[in-house]
Amino acid sequence: MCLEEFGYDAAVDYKAERFEQVLDAVCHGGVDVYFDNTAGRISDAVMARLNTRARVVVCGTASVASWDPIPEGPRVERHLLTKRARMQGFLIFDHADRFPAALEQLERWVRDGLIRYHEDVLDGIEQAPGSIAGLYRGENLGKRLIRIADA
C-alpha cells in the first residue's frame, strides 16, 4: 500500500524480524532526513544510519509507552556529533500563525491527489476508551477517529 497507493520509494515493516537488515537495504545510501514520530527501537536504528549533516525532526514518541521511569536505550549523542547532524523538536502549536495558509495548501494537495490518506473510523463514544490502546497494538490503518452521532 505504501508503494502503490501512496507513492513511497520504499517501505519497511518495523515489526519485521530482520528490521535492521531491511532498513539497510532500502537506506543503502544512509539517511539525510528523518521525521521521528516514534522514538524507541525504530529511531535507534535510524540514528546509526544518519549521513553527515543529516537532519532529524522529532515530532513524537509513539513507541514509548511510559516515560516514568525514563526508558534506557542507545544514546544518540555520538551519532549526532560524528555526523554533524542536527536534531530539533517540532510542535505544531509553535506554528499556529501559519495554520490558515497551511490548511489552504494541504487542501489543494489533497484535491490534486498529491496527498492521499486513510481514516480508521470507529462509531460511538463507547469506542473511545479502548481506541488509544488499539493504536499501540497496531489495529488501525490510517488516522483513527471516533464518530459521535448527533443526539
> Does position 100 have pLDDT exceeding 70, yes or no?
yes
Q: Return the pLDDT at 145.
A: 93
Domain that residue 69 falls in: 1-97
Domain membership of residue 15 (yes or no) is yes
First to last CA, the chain: 37
- Three cell numbers written together for 22: 531491511
84-109 burial, b at 16+ Cβ within 10 Å, e below that, comes to ebebeeeeeeeeeeeeeeeeeeeeee
Domain membership of residue 91 (yes or no) is yes
Q: Return the pLDDT at 146.
A: 93
Domain membership of residue 146 (yes or no) is no
For residue range 6-32, list pLDDT tens digits in order.
Answer: 888 888 888 888 989 999 999 999 999
Strand, coil or helix: 121: strand
Check which CATH number belongs to the domain holding 37 and give it.
Answer: 3.40.50.720
Domain membership of residue 14 (yes or no) is yes
Kindly give, in sequence order, each residue whose CB lies less than 8 Å from that of residue 26, ignoring residues fewer than 6 positions away: 9, 10, 11, 12
| Cβ count within 10 A of residue 46 | 21
Q: Residue 110's pLDDT band (boundaries 50, 70, 90)?
A: very high
Average pLDDT over every residue of 71-99: 91
Domain membership of residue 106 (yes or no) is no
Domain membership of residue 141 (yes or no) is no
Domain membership of residue 108 (yes or no) is no
The owner of cell 514509548 is 64
pTM: 0.75
Mean pLDDT (the chain, rounded): 90
Per the structure, how many domains does the chain have? 1
Q: Return the pLDDT at 151.
A: 57
